[in-house]
A = this chain, B = another copy of it.
Amino acid sequence: MVTIKDVAKHVGVSVATVSRVLNETGYVHEDTRRMVEKAIQELNYTPNEVARSLYKRKSKLIGLLLPDITNPYFPQLARGVEDRMQESGFRLIFGNSDESEQKEQDYIQTFVQNNAVGIISSTNFPGMESYRRLNIPVVFLDRISSDRPAVYADGREGGRIAAQQIIKRGSRRIAVLQGPAHIRPAQDRFQGAVEVLQDTGVAYEVIRTASFALTEAEEKAKELFAAFPDTDGVIASNDMAAIAVLHEALRLGKKVPEEVQIIGFDDIPLIGLLSPPLSTIRQPAYDMGYKAAELMIRLIEGQPVEQQNIQMPVEFVERGSTRENPEKRRE
């Protein structure tokens, strides 16, 4: 293993000089700096980041916490975060919380113990004490908090669009799946949809769900059609829930979209290949992750941050689980 001493010896300077070059501290003559950098390359010397982080009190590690990477929505967020972080040489310590407060606390603690310089979290518990105690930057991703920087999609507008589209396309007895009550974007979607339903006076029922997990979604889908068998439109809390509803509707022999229209939320991969392909409200997940990483880097580097809360636009993606827009047909 090549050490800093080997580098110093190779160039004929002191270890302190090599250290100054590595840490970009203090004065080093330009020629000396070049020689040291050349020696580092030639000897293939890789400074020990742990030792450096102790010296500089800074690592290049960022904690990333997501609910569950096997939900196809989250890998997109993770890729966005990672790609931006990689551009600036940061690395991710990664964990899944499974929407459990205990797991989330454990991860935050170990992020700190491993000297993470920032945490990006799709938390289910934004008000948790563990976040308040941190003295490193935190960015919430796909979540909203009044006292923390955050990157999220415009859930309320998404909910409004979903309701407008499903009404316009003819649903009159609508079920709205309400996502976890303590997660702001999920509630914003719900509120947006309900606003439009109330304004237009269309009948609707609410099905409450506690998590985004597929198993719960399957139960709720069964409950939905058992309690309200004449439902002719479903606004789902996310695509996984929409898939569960689609499956249950088909299992009951209902025609989608002729008898029941379904709109999801997220636009996860492969839903365009389902039968029928799922109409949904698209969130720009990759871009959200990328922006969150960008915001985090600015915070770490102490750069001015104009916008603490970045709200990204959503859009309706028309596929086969909704009927044709009659206004369009007339054109």
Contacts and interface: CB of A to CB of B under 8 A. Distances in A.
Contact of A54 (B51, B64, B96, B109): B51
A23 interface: no
A243 interface: yes
A138 interface: no
A8 interface: no
B59 A69 contact: no
A264 to B, nearest CB: 13
A72 B72 CA distance: 7
Contacts of A114: 49-50, 59-61, 91
A82 interface: yes
Given A61-B93, A91-B95, A94-B94, A115 B50 contact: yes
A41 interface: no
A310 interface: no
A78 interface: yes
Given A96-B82, A243-B270, A113 B70 contact: no
Copies in the complex: 2
B75 A70 contact: yes
A4 interface: no
B91 A93 contact: yes
Interface string A46-60: 111111011000011
A227 interface: no
Contacts of A49: 110, 113-115
A68 B78 CA distance: 10
Contacts of A75: 69-70, 72, 74-75
A226 interface: no
Interface in A79-113: 79, 82, 86, 89, 91-96, 103, 107, 109-110, 112-113
A247 interface: yes
Contacts of A54: 50-51, 54
Nearest to A135: B1
A275 interface: yes
Contacts of A46: 109, 112-113
B79 A96 contact: yes
12 contacts: A46-B112, A46-B113, A48-B115, A51-B54, A61-B93, A72-B270, A91-B110, A93-B94, A270-B270, A270-B271, A273-B274, A274-B274
Question: Which 4 residue pairs spanning A and B have beta carbons closest together?
Answer: A275-B275, A49-B113, A94-B94, A69-B75
